[in-house]
Amino acid sequence: MNSIALVGAVPLLRTHSTGNPCAAVTTAENFAIDCRNLSYSVKTRQGKLIPILDDCSLSIPSGQFWMLLGPNGCGKSTLLKILGGLLNPSGGFLRVNKPRSFVFQNPDHQVVMPTVEADVAFGLGKFNLTDNEVTSRVAKALDSVGMYEYLRKPVQTLSGGQKQRVAIAGALAEACKVLLLDELTSFLDENDQVGVIRAVKSSLASSKGTTALWVTHRLEELEYADGAIYMENGRIVLQGNALRITDFVEAQQASYIKQINS
């Protein structure tokens, strides 16, 4: 049975590098995402436990844009799904601000209504809002991702990056506190890639403390991040300063290329 155990009070923790020279010390309550010693295993038909995540601890301050990187199969999507509540951890402590929203790699799985406006409004049905409130939330969310002028456009006329931005607007319209984004730019060209990253950044800037965690394979995207996490083999190897992680991954790639060439 899956269980989430509390592993004790989290002491005062120093913030990770944020690019903000004023950032000093952050209490555990200021973290939008805070987990300690998370593990996740799956059971084979023969009853054998296969560990996927092991002893993962991470803390992401509220209002920041963080990236999660690592080689194929290291556990990034599994960790993101646990943070999004789509999977239960096998053990460890987990706290994620709510509501939280998950945006998937393929926007065609998420952007399903005929027009942009209808799609962003789709998730608001559960909130018992007036028509005016829905209109205002949709407009604000689309504006924050730079898509307001597309309000009345049919979704099938949008590019991949524009659909991603509509999917993000849908999450923002629901006033999510944590946005979990899984490899959104994998199939996008460079223009759309930067457009989607900028849309996330500007939506965080215009929100009240929304936090985003962005899974990517693209090292060059780290320049937009307030902080980053690097995983290998189901474990978190490094977290904090995005520049430090860029250096670490570049050094690893250089050593790999050297090995191949030797």
Ligand X SMILES: Nc1ncnc2c1ncn2[C@@H]1O[C@H](COP(=O)(O)OP(=O)(O)OP(=O)(O)O)[C@@H](O)[C@H]1O
Binding site for ligand X (CB under 6 A): 42, 50, 52, 70, 72-78
Q: Specify which residues 146 forms β-bridges with.
A: none
Q: How far is the CB of 248 from ligand X (least distance, A)?
A: 17
Q: How far is the CB of 74 from ligand X (least distance, A)?
A: 4
Please return the burial class of 40, using the count of CB atoms within 10 Å of its CB with bins 0-12, 13-18 and 19+. buried
Please say which residue, 58 or 169, places its beta carbon nearer to ligand X: 58
Please say which residue, 76 or 165, places its beta carbon nearer to ligand X: 76
Please say which residue, 72 or 262, places its beta carbon nearer to ligand X: 72
Please say which residue, 52 or 184, places its beta carbon nearer to ligand X: 52
**Distance separating alpha carbons of residues 18 and 117, to the nearest angstrom:** 34
Output phi, psi for 58, to 5 deg: -155, 155
Q: How far is the CB of 20 from ligand X (least distance, A)?
A: 29
Please say which residue, 172 or 229, places its beta carbon nearer to ligand X: 229
**How many other C-beta atoms can be found within 10 angstroms of the C-beta atom of residue 232?**
14
Please say which residue, 73 or 154, places its beta carbon nearer to ligand X: 73
Q: How far is the CB of 202 from ligand X (least distance, A)?
A: 27
**Distance separating alpha carbons of residues 97 and 176, to the nearest angstrom:** 9
Buried b (16+ CB within 10 A) or exposed e, 78-106: bbbbbbbeebebbbbbbbbbeebbbbbbb
Q: How far is the CB of 113 from ligand X (least distance, A)?
A: 28
**How many other C-beta atoms can be found within 10 angstroms of the C-beta atom of residue 29?**
9
Q: How far is the CB of 30 from ligand X (least distance, A)?
A: 28
Helix (H, G, I), strand (E, B) or coil at 62: coil
- Among 127, 161, 129, 165, smallest CA distance to 148 is for 165
